A = this chain, B = another copy of it.
Protein backbone atom coordinates (compact mmCIF):
# COMPACT_ATOMS: atom_id res chain seq x y z
CA UNK A 1 0.00 0.00 0.00
CA UNK A 2 1.58 3.30 -1.08
CA UNK A 3 1.05 5.53 1.91
CA UNK A 4 2.57 8.98 1.54
CA UNK A 5 4.35 10.35 4.63
CA UNK A 6 1.81 12.60 6.32
CA UNK A 7 1.54 14.97 9.25
CA UNK A 8 -1.44 14.03 11.39
CA UNK A 9 -2.30 15.30 14.84
CA UNK A 10 -0.45 13.50 17.64
CA UNK A 11 1.87 11.89 15.09
CA UNK A 12 -0.84 9.48 13.99
CA UNK A 13 0.12 7.20 11.07
CA UNK A 14 -1.90 7.31 7.83
CA UNK A 15 -3.32 3.89 8.56
CA UNK A 16 -3.98 4.41 12.27
CA UNK A 17 -7.34 4.83 13.95
CA UNK A 18 -7.73 7.52 16.59
CA UNK A 19 -7.95 6.13 20.14
CA UNK A 20 -11.26 4.25 20.22
CA UNK A 21 -13.31 3.62 23.36
CA UNK A 22 -16.56 1.69 23.71
CA UNK A 23 -18.15 2.19 27.15
CA UNK A 24 -21.23 0.08 27.82
CA UNK A 25 -24.13 0.54 30.23
CA UNK A 26 -23.87 4.31 30.49
CA UNK A 27 -27.62 4.89 30.75
CA UNK A 28 -30.03 3.66 33.40
CA UNK A 29 -33.23 3.50 31.38
CA UNK A 30 -32.12 2.27 27.94
CA UNK A 31 -31.96 -1.52 27.49
CA UNK A 32 -28.57 -1.19 25.83
CA UNK A 33 -26.26 1.79 25.69
CA UNK A 34 -22.77 2.58 24.55
CA UNK A 35 -20.70 5.76 24.63
CA UNK A 36 -18.46 5.43 21.60
CA UNK A 37 -15.38 7.64 21.24
CA UNK A 38 -13.26 7.97 18.10
CA UNK A 39 -10.74 10.48 19.43
CA UNK A 40 -12.67 13.65 20.32
CA UNK A 41 -15.80 12.42 18.58
CA UNK A 42 -18.24 11.14 21.19
CA UNK A 43 -21.61 9.60 20.40
CA UNK A 44 -24.10 8.25 22.91
CA UNK A 45 -25.88 5.21 21.43
CA UNK A 46 -28.97 3.92 23.20
CA UNK A 47 -31.15 1.00 22.17
CA UNK A 48 -34.74 0.66 23.31
CA UNK A 49 -37.27 -2.01 22.33
CA UNK A 50 -40.97 -1.43 21.87
CA UNK A 51 -43.77 -3.89 21.13
CA UNK A 52 -45.13 -3.85 17.59
CA UNK A 53 -43.74 -2.67 14.28
CA UNK A 54 -44.46 0.27 11.94
CA UNK A 55 -47.75 0.01 10.02
CA UNK A 56 -46.11 -0.81 6.68
CA UNK A 57 -44.26 -3.80 8.26
CA UNK A 58 -47.29 -5.37 9.90
CA UNK A 59 -48.00 -8.10 7.40
CA UNK A 60 -44.39 -9.35 7.57
CA UNK A 61 -44.64 -11.00 11.02
CA UNK A 62 -41.05 -9.88 11.49
CA UNK A 63 -39.40 -7.22 13.62
CA UNK A 64 -37.80 -3.92 12.70
CA UNK A 65 -34.59 -2.10 13.60
CA UNK A 66 -34.33 1.63 13.06
CA UNK A 67 -32.15 4.53 14.14
CA UNK A 68 -32.38 8.21 14.94
CA UNK A 69 -29.43 10.58 14.78
CA UNK A 70 -29.00 14.10 16.11
CA UNK A 71 -26.25 16.41 17.26
CA UNK A 72 -26.42 18.36 20.50
CA UNK A 73 -26.26 22.06 19.65
CA UNK A 74 -23.00 22.51 21.54
CA UNK A 75 -21.35 19.42 20.04
CA UNK A 76 -20.00 21.34 17.08
CA UNK A 77 -17.39 24.01 16.59
CA UNK A 78 -20.00 26.71 16.17
CA UNK A 79 -23.27 26.07 18.01
CA UNK A 80 -25.65 24.37 15.56
CA UNK A 81 -29.43 24.96 15.67
CA UNK A 82 -31.68 22.25 17.04
CA UNK A 83 -33.59 20.41 14.32
CA UNK A 84 -37.04 21.47 15.40
CA UNK A 85 -39.52 22.03 12.62
CA UNK A 86 -37.30 21.03 9.69
CA UNK A 87 -34.96 18.08 9.70
CA UNK A 88 -31.59 18.40 8.07
CA UNK A 89 -31.04 16.22 5.02
CA UNK A 90 -27.66 15.19 6.45
CA UNK A 91 -29.17 13.81 9.68
CA UNK A 92 -31.80 11.86 7.81
CA UNK A 93 -29.14 10.43 5.51
CA UNK A 94 -27.08 9.29 8.49
CA UNK A 95 -29.92 7.72 10.41
CA UNK A 96 -31.00 5.81 7.31
CA UNK A 97 -27.42 4.56 6.92
CA UNK A 98 -27.20 3.42 10.55
CA UNK A 99 -30.56 1.64 10.31
CA UNK A 100 -29.61 -0.23 7.12
CA UNK A 101 -26.22 -1.20 8.58
CA UNK A 102 -27.74 -2.70 11.71
CA UNK A 103 -30.48 -4.54 9.82
CA UNK A 104 -27.77 -6.25 7.75
CA UNK A 105 -26.78 -8.31 10.81
CA UNK A 106 -30.19 -8.87 12.41
CA UNK A 107 -32.50 -11.75 11.62
CA UNK A 108 -35.76 -9.80 11.65
CA UNK A 109 -37.92 -12.92 11.58
CA UNK A 110 -36.13 -14.24 14.66
CA UNK A 111 -36.54 -10.86 16.38
CA UNK A 112 -40.31 -11.17 16.19
CA UNK A 113 -42.75 -8.28 16.21
CA UNK A 114 -40.64 -5.81 18.16
CA UNK A 115 -39.12 -2.52 17.03
CA UNK A 116 -35.61 -1.69 18.20
CA UNK A 117 -34.72 1.99 18.00
CA UNK A 118 -31.09 2.95 18.38
CA UNK A 119 -30.70 6.63 19.17
CA UNK A 120 -27.33 8.08 18.24
CA UNK A 121 -26.86 11.45 19.89
CA UNK A 122 -23.62 13.24 19.16
CA UNK A 123 -22.21 14.73 22.36
CA UNK A 124 -19.06 16.04 20.71
CA UNK A 125 -18.22 16.13 17.01
CA UNK A 126 -14.74 15.91 15.55
CA UNK A 127 -15.27 14.05 12.27
CA UNK A 128 -16.58 10.53 11.71
CA UNK A 129 -19.79 10.83 13.73
CA UNK A 130 -21.60 8.51 11.34
CA UNK A 131 -18.99 5.78 11.45
CA UNK A 132 -18.70 6.04 15.22
CA UNK A 133 -22.51 5.85 15.37
CA UNK A 134 -22.66 2.59 13.41
CA UNK A 135 -19.87 1.08 15.51
CA UNK A 136 -21.37 2.07 18.86
CA UNK A 137 -24.94 1.36 17.78
CA UNK A 138 -24.07 -2.28 17.21
CA UNK A 139 -22.89 -2.59 20.83
CA UNK A 140 -26.05 -0.93 22.18
CA UNK A 141 -28.17 -3.15 19.94
CA UNK A 142 -26.31 -6.26 21.10
CA UNK A 143 -26.82 -5.42 24.75
CA UNK A 144 -30.50 -4.62 24.35
CA UNK A 145 -31.13 -7.88 22.51
CA UNK A 146 -29.14 -9.84 25.10
CA UNK A 147 -31.37 -8.41 27.86
CA UNK A 148 -34.42 -9.26 25.78
CA UNK A 149 -33.23 -12.87 25.65
CA UNK A 150 -32.58 -12.81 29.40
CA UNK A 151 -36.09 -11.45 29.96
CA UNK A 152 -37.43 -14.43 28.05
CA UNK A 153 -39.01 -12.29 25.32
CA UNK A 154 -37.06 -14.03 22.53
CA UNK A 155 -35.39 -17.46 22.69
CA UNK A 156 -31.97 -16.46 21.33
CA UNK A 157 -29.94 -13.50 20.11
CA UNK A 158 -31.25 -12.62 16.61
CA UNK A 159 -27.86 -11.22 15.57
CA UNK A 160 -26.23 -12.87 12.56
CA UNK A 161 -22.94 -11.02 12.92
CA UNK A 162 -21.17 -7.78 13.78
CA UNK A 163 -21.08 -4.54 11.85
CA UNK A 164 -18.70 -1.57 12.17
CA UNK A 165 -17.79 1.44 10.07
CA UNK A 166 -14.88 3.72 9.40
CA UNK A 167 -14.08 6.66 7.17
CA UNK A 168 -11.20 6.86 4.74
CA UNK A 169 -10.24 9.69 2.46
CA UNK A 170 -7.70 11.50 0.38
CA UNK A 171 -6.23 14.57 2.07
CA UNK A 172 -3.51 16.60 0.37
CA UNK A 173 -3.04 13.66 -1.96
CA UNK A 174 -2.54 11.13 0.82
CA UNK A 175 -4.86 8.22 1.61
CA UNK A 176 -5.83 8.35 5.30
CA UNK A 177 -7.84 6.20 7.69
CA UNK A 178 -10.41 7.62 10.12
CA UNK A 179 -10.44 11.33 9.28
CA UNK A 180 -10.87 13.88 12.04
CA UNK A 181 -12.77 17.12 11.47
CA UNK A 182 -9.91 19.21 10.12
CA UNK A 183 -8.89 16.41 7.74
CA UNK A 184 -12.46 15.75 6.70
CA UNK A 185 -13.18 19.37 5.92
CA UNK A 186 -10.30 19.62 3.48
CA UNK A 187 -10.52 16.05 2.09
CA UNK A 188 -10.47 15.67 -1.67
CA UNK A 189 -12.14 12.28 -1.49
CA UNK A 190 -14.28 11.20 1.43
CA UNK A 191 -15.49 7.65 1.86
CA UNK A 192 -17.45 5.73 4.47
CA UNK A 193 -17.23 1.98 4.62
CA UNK A 194 -19.53 -0.27 6.62
CA UNK A 195 -18.54 -3.93 6.81
CA UNK A 196 -19.14 -7.10 8.77
CA UNK A 197 -16.76 -9.54 10.39
CA UNK A 198 -16.72 -11.60 7.17
CA UNK A 199 -14.82 -8.76 5.57
CA UNK A 200 -17.64 -8.02 3.16
CA UNK A 201 -19.26 -4.62 2.78
CA UNK A 202 -22.76 -3.55 3.74
CA UNK A 203 -22.42 0.04 2.59
CA UNK A 204 -19.89 1.98 0.58
CA UNK A 205 -20.30 5.70 0.10
CA UNK A 206 -17.59 7.67 -1.61
CA UNK A 207 -17.64 11.29 -2.72
CA UNK A 208 -15.06 13.22 -4.66
CA UNK A 209 -15.39 16.59 -2.95
CA UNK A 210 -12.93 18.47 -5.12
CA UNK A 211 -11.43 15.82 -7.35
CA UNK A 212 -12.70 12.65 -8.96
CA UNK A 213 -11.25 9.26 -8.08
CA UNK A 214 -10.30 6.25 -10.17
CA UNK A 215 -10.16 2.53 -9.45
CA UNK A 216 -6.61 2.51 -8.05
CA UNK A 217 -7.43 5.15 -5.49
CA UNK A 218 -10.57 3.28 -4.60
CA UNK A 219 -8.66 0.09 -3.97
CA UNK A 220 -6.08 1.78 -1.73
CA UNK A 221 -8.88 3.36 0.28
CA UNK A 222 -10.76 0.08 0.60
CA UNK A 223 -7.60 -1.68 1.88
CA UNK A 224 -7.15 1.01 4.51
CA UNK A 225 -10.77 0.74 5.52
CA UNK A 226 -10.75 -3.06 5.76
CA UNK A 227 -7.89 -2.98 8.21
CA UNK A 228 -9.54 -0.28 10.33
CA UNK A 229 -12.86 -2.06 10.48
CA UNK A 230 -11.15 -5.33 11.52
CA UNK A 231 -9.75 -3.54 14.56
CA UNK A 232 -13.14 -2.00 15.43
CA UNK A 233 -14.86 -5.38 15.18
CA UNK A 234 -12.25 -6.87 17.52
CA UNK A 235 -12.89 -4.13 20.03
CA UNK A 236 -16.68 -4.67 19.82
CA UNK A 237 -16.10 -8.34 20.42
CA UNK A 238 -13.82 -7.64 23.35
CA UNK A 239 -16.44 -5.59 25.21
CA UNK A 240 -19.41 -7.81 24.39
CA UNK A 241 -17.80 -11.27 24.01
CA UNK A 242 -20.21 -11.73 21.11
CA UNK A 243 -18.27 -14.28 19.07
CA UNK A 244 -17.78 -16.72 21.93
CA UNK A 245 -21.48 -16.33 22.78
CA UNK A 246 -22.25 -17.14 19.24
CA UNK A 247 -20.34 -20.38 19.39
CA UNK A 248 -22.54 -21.78 22.11
User: Which residues of the partner chain B approach A100 to less than 8 Å between Cβ atoms?
Assistant: 207
Q: Contact mask A181-208 → B, CB, 8 Å, 1/0? A: 0000000000100011011111111111
Report A37-70 residues with CB < 8 Å from chain B CB: 40, 44, 46-48, 50, 68, 70
Report A140-185 residues with CB < 8 Å from chain B CB: none
> Are B82 and A68 interface neighbours, CB within 8 A?
yes
Q: Could you list 25 examples of A-B contacts with CB < 8 Å?
A: A27-B74, A27-B123, A28-B40, A29-B74, A29-B125, A33-B74, A44-B123, A47-B74, A68-B82, A73-B121, A74-B119, A83-B84, A84-B84, A84-B85, A85-B86, A89-B92, A92-B93, A195-B212, A200-B213, A201-B206, A201-B214, A202-B207, A203-B207, A203-B208, A204-B205
Binding site for B on A (CB under 8 A): 27-30, 33, 40, 44, 46-48, 50, 68, 70, 72-77, 79, 82-87, 89-90, 92-93, 95-96, 100, 104, 117, 119, 121, 123-126, 191, 195-196, 198-208, 211-215, 218-219, 222
Known: A79-B119, A215-B222. 12 other contacts (CB 8 A): A27-B124, A30-B79, A48-B73, A48-B79, A68-B73, A83-B84, A89-B92, A89-B95, A90-B96, A199-B214, A200-B208, A204-B205
